[in-house]
């Protein structure tokens, strides 16, 4: 089977904000550089600009509000059902500001990837750029990883290093890290889509 004969991987992109990583992924797919199709874009924030990006590219999108559900587990159960209805094979978190419940992680084992604006395992969780500046590190960056039951604890796929400048603010550092995100997230996604990754314990192996 030739590479061009491989059917595109069906993606779901989960978003909460501006959607710059979503846009990067859309651009790669439309340029023929990523063998994937975005089946659905889901946001937990109704006015997220990422939804407008999806609409501009005629992608099916919807909002799932946490306020409509009694618990995180109930929310994620509905999320899993929606993804399965659309035949999603790989879930991509692109600024999705929710911690996933076990029901979601168990439904898509090693099929959920996330990008975090720090060099994990350092500075997990929220405000990673501020954490890095407060700690006084000389280098920060971003990490693409598989999602597991912890918070930013899953096996690491790719990382990119971004120097911290002496006059950096949280905003300035965030912008430079975001530029790196737009490079390595599509790279990591392509490795996933092309079947180039395997996991041995905590180590993600990349097929040459």
The residue extents of the domains of the chain are 1-108, 115-145+154-208
Closest CA to 173 of 125, 117, 123, 119: 117
Give all strands (DSSP E) within the chain, no chain letters: 9-15, 36-43, 61-63, 90-94, 112-116, 139-146, 156-163, 197-200, 203-206
The answer to whether 11 touches 23, Cβ cutoff 8 Å, is: no
Residue 136: the pLDDT is 98
pLDDT tens-digit series, residues 185-197: 999 999 999 999 9
Quick one: how far is CA 36 from the chain centroid? 15
On the CB side of 39, how many CA atoms lie within 13 Å of its CA? 16
Residue 4: the pLDDT is 56
Residue 140: the pLDDT is 98
Closest CA to 19 of 178, 145, 162, 133: 178
Please state, in angstroms and as integers, the Cα–Cα distance from residue 72 to each residue in 67, 91, 142, following that order.
10, 18, 27
pLDDT tens-digit series, residues 80-103: 999 999 999 999 999 999 999 999
Residue 5: the pLDDT is 76
Quick one: how far is CA 181 from the chain centroid? 10
Q: Which residues are catalytic?
A: 116
Please state, in angstroms and as integers, the Cα–Cα distance from residue 58 to each residue in 4, 41, 61, 86, 96, following that order.
24, 11, 9, 16, 21
Query: pTM higher than 0.75, yes or no?
Result: yes
Matching fold, domains 1-108 and 115-145+154-208: yes
Architecture of domain 1-108 in CATH?
A: 3-Layer(aba) Sandwich (3.40)
Residue 131: pLDDT band by 50, 70, 90 thresholds?
A: very high
Q: Fold for domain 115-145+154-208?
A: Rossmann fold (3.40.50)
The answer to whether 51 touches 61, Cβ cutoff 8 Å, is: yes
The total number of residues shown for the chain amounts to 208
Measured CA to CA, the distance from residue 142 to residue 120 in angstroms comes to 8
Residue 208: the pLDDT is 80
pLDDT tens-digit series, residues 10-25: 999 999 999 999 999 9
156-163 vs 197-200, strand pairing mode: unpaired
Percent of the chain with pLDDT over 90: 97
pLDDT tens-digit series, residues 55-81: 999 999 999 999 999 999 999 999 999
């Amino acid at each position: 089977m030739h590479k061009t004969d491989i059917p595109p991987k069906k993606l779901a992109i989960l978003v909460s904000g501006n959607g710059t990583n979503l846009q990067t992924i859309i651009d790669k797919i439309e340029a023929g550089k990523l063998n994937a199709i975005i089946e659905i874009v889901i946001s937990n924030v109704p006015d997220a600009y990422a939804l407008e990006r999806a609409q501009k590219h005629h992608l099916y999108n919807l909002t799932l509000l946490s306020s409509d559900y009694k618990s995180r587990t109930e929310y994620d159960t509905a999320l899993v059902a929606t993804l399965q209805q659309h035949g999603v094979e790989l879930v991509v978190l692109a600024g999705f500001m929710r911690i996933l419940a076990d029901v979601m992680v168990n439904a898509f084992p090693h099929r959920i990837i996330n990008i975090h604006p720090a060099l994990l395992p350092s500075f997990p969780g929220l405000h990673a750029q501020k954490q890095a500046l407060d700690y006084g590190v000389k280098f920060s960056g971003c990490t693409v990883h598989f999602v597991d039951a912890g918070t930013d604890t899953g096996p690491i796929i790719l990382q990119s290093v971004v120097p911290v400048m002496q006059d950096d603010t949280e905003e300035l550092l965030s912008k430079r890290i975001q530029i790196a995100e737009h490079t390595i997230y599509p790279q990591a996604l392509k490795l996933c889509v092309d079947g180039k990754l395997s996991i041995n314990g905590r180590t993600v192996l990349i097929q040459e």
